Every structure is written in C-alpha cells, then in structure tokens.
Amino acid sequence: MKIPYTLKQVIILHDKIIEETGGLKGVLNIGLLEEALYKPFMGLADGAELYPGIARKAAVLFEALVTYHPFADGNKRTAEIVTVIFLWHEGYLWNFNEDEIVEFATDVAKNKFSIDEIEKWIEVRLKSR
C-alpha cells in the first residue's frame, strides 16, 4: 500500500488549515510527525502488517496525529484532514458531521478511546466512493 502523502505535503496542509481556521503554525517535533504519518504502514520483516485493514490504519493514523501532538496547534484538525485524504486515496468516504468529529477528536486527545474503539468509530462511518 502506497502512503498517499509526504511529510512536506502534510506540513503545507497543516499551515493552510491554520491560515483558514486560526492558531499557531509550526512543527514542535518533526520526529513525532514522521512517526505518526508512517506508523499505520509499519510491518514485520516477513511482510506481515502491524495494522491490517483500512479502518485500522485510519484509526492508528488519526490517533497518532492527535496524541503525539507534533504541531504547535491544529493537531486534531490536521488529523481529521490527513485521515480523510488517506481514506479517499483508498476508495472510501468518511462520513461525519462537524460536531461529532470535534467531540470525537477531543475525546481521542484525552485518551478516552482504545485503538479498537477508534477503529470501530471510523469503520461505521465509512462508505465506498
């Protein structure tokens, strides 16, 4: 599976999100950002994936971008958009309304959900495009 974004693209996207919605630009920890972006695609030497399945990968990506807090501001907003892009690239639409994604992302930031729970939340809102 090809990763549908580069580190540079995500930083540019984050800056655009901040310009549009307000907040502070800037990467606090480039290493944590890289780890969050590539974590869903990690595997073992034998080729086995650590996070098999689209919803699982999306959950790991979303959770890592929110909780690793790699940006000065806008981590939850960036996690939302990057996860939507990933899912779109894989042929899915992620359907939610703005109120529920804000509440969900805030709860993820507070570590209220396990990866399994995040995966399920995403999975029930996916549809093929």
Instruction: Please give the average per-residue pLDDT across 3-19, as a whole number.
Output: 95
Tell me the average pLDDT of the chain: 96
Q: How far apart are CA 76 and CA 79, in angstroms?
A: 5
Q: How far apart are CA 94 and CA 85, in angstroms?
A: 10
Q: For residue 47, name the pLDDT band (cuts at 50, 70, 90).
A: confident
Q: What is the pLDDT of residues 16-41, one digit of tens each?
A: 999 999 999 999 999 999 999 999 99
Those residues whose C-beta lies under 8 Å from the C-beta of residue 22, and which sit 6 or more positions away, are none
Task: Return the domain boundaries, the chain.
Answer: 27-128
pLDDT for the residue numbered 93: 97
* 4: pLDDT strictly greater than 80: yes
pTM comes to 0.95
* 2: pLDDT strictly greater than 80: no
The CATH number of 27-128, from 1.20.120.1870, 3.40.50.720, 3.40.50.300, 1.25.40.10, is 1.20.120.1870
pLDDT for the residue numbered 109: 98
Q: What is the pLDDT of residues 59-115, one digit of tens each?
A: 999 999 999 999 999 999 999 999 999 999 999 999 999 999 999 999 999 999 999
